[in-house]
Structures are given as C-alpha cells and as structure tokens.
Amino acid sequence: MRKLAILIVLVAAVAVDWAQEPVKPASVQSDAQKTAANNILGIEQQFWEALKNKDAKFFEASLPDDLVAVGYVGVLTKSTAVNLFFKMPCEVRSFTLTDSKVTFFTADTAFLTYKGTTDGTCAGKPVPTVWASAVYVKRHERWLKASHQETRALGLSPEPPKTAGS
C-alpha cells in the first residue's frame, strides 16, 4: 500500500510539472517582438529628428489624442506639447539616443527607456542630457507614443554605493 501511495504522489508531481508553462527569461524576445522593438526605436528616432527640424506635422500625425507627456514644465497633453515644443527658442544641431531597452507588457503595449544626449540650446542654455521613457501602443496596426517622460541625467552610476564591510 505504501508503494502505491508513493507511486501516486510521483505521478501527480510529474503531471503538475508537465502542466506548467516553461519559464522563459524576461530578456528573451520573440522574433515579432524584436521586429516591433526595432520599429519603436526607429519611431523614437524620428520624434527626435522632428524636434531637431521643428516638424510639428510629424508630431500631429504620430501622437494619439490621449497622449500624456511629463517634462520640465509639467504634465502635457498632445496639443499643449505640440504647441510648446515648436514655439520654444531651441536649436538642436544633433542628438544621440543610447542605452535603449524595449519591454513588452502585451503584444500591443511596449515600454521604451533610453538616454538622450543633445548638442543644442534652448533659450540660450545647453540642452541637458536626459533619461527618457515612453509607452508605445499599437492601434490600427501602427505604433503610437501614448506617453513620454524625461528626467535630467545627473551622470551618477545606477549602482548603489558600497557600504563598509561589503
């Protein structure tokens, strides 16, 4: 009887194990996600190019009406952001986007993070380097930037400081 009980427990354990979905590391992306990530990075590059060239038409066409942007001046809607960005006395000569990462929440929702470095001025002051994030949503087979946020980069290491004895 004891052998039968052990056998039943083993069979149940194997059945439960086989029923589990295999665990994939979070960093593994499907081919579709890799393609979408490249598309999103390309679109983000186009946003920065549009800022550089003061191309408000690209912003109008590529931002959803429910955009929420957070920056130095506060929380902005689509119309406020478009009006503000292209009326500011800014000159962008070049920019570089680095340290990018795209994380997918669903097949139609992605979170982009990156560092943006700009050679340019706004109101006579150098444009600061920023850490930025954007939420992209796929609507009608097209990726749109639904949210954007920037934080001035301080040049500090993201690693916590070491404490005595560690």
Q: What is the DSSP letter of 84?
A: H
Strand partners, 103: 111
Give the per-residue pLDDT at 112: 98
Q: Would 13 be classed as within a structural domain?
A: no
CB atoms within 10 A of CB 66: 11
Write a three-state SS string for 4-36. Answer: HHHHHHHHHHHHHHHHCCCCCCCCCCCHHHHHH
Give the CATH number for residue 139: 3.10.450.50
User: Residue 143's Cα: distance from chain center in Å?
Assistant: 12
Q: Would 114 be classed as within a structural domain?
A: yes
Structure-model confidence comparison of residues 161 and 83, the more confident one:
83
Q: Which amino acid is at 27?
A: S
Q: Would 131 be classed as within a structural domain?
A: yes
Q: Would 113 be classed as within a structural domain?
A: yes
Q: How far is CA 68 from CA 41, 122, 133, in A?
A: 19, 22, 12
Angle at 141 between CA 137 and CA 145, to 5 degrees: 25
Give the per-residue pLDDT at 166: 52
Q: Per-residue pLDDT for 119 more than 50? A: yes
Give the per-residue pLDDT at 75: 93
The token duo for 166 is: 């560690």
Q: Would 14 be classed as within a structural domain?
A: no
Mean pLDDT of the chain: 83
pLDDT digits (tens, 9 = 90+) for 105-114: 999 999 999 9
Q: Would 132 be classed as within a structural domain?
A: yes
Note the residue count of the chain. Answer: 166
Range of 137's domain?
31-152
Q: Is 150 strand, coil or helix?
A: strand
* Structural domain total, the chain: 1
Q: Would 158 be classed as within a structural domain?
A: no
Q: CA-to-CA distance for 28 and 118, rounded, in angstroms? A: 31
Q: Would 15 be classed as within a structural domain?
A: no
Where do the DSSP E strands lie in 19-108? 68-71, 74-76, 90-106
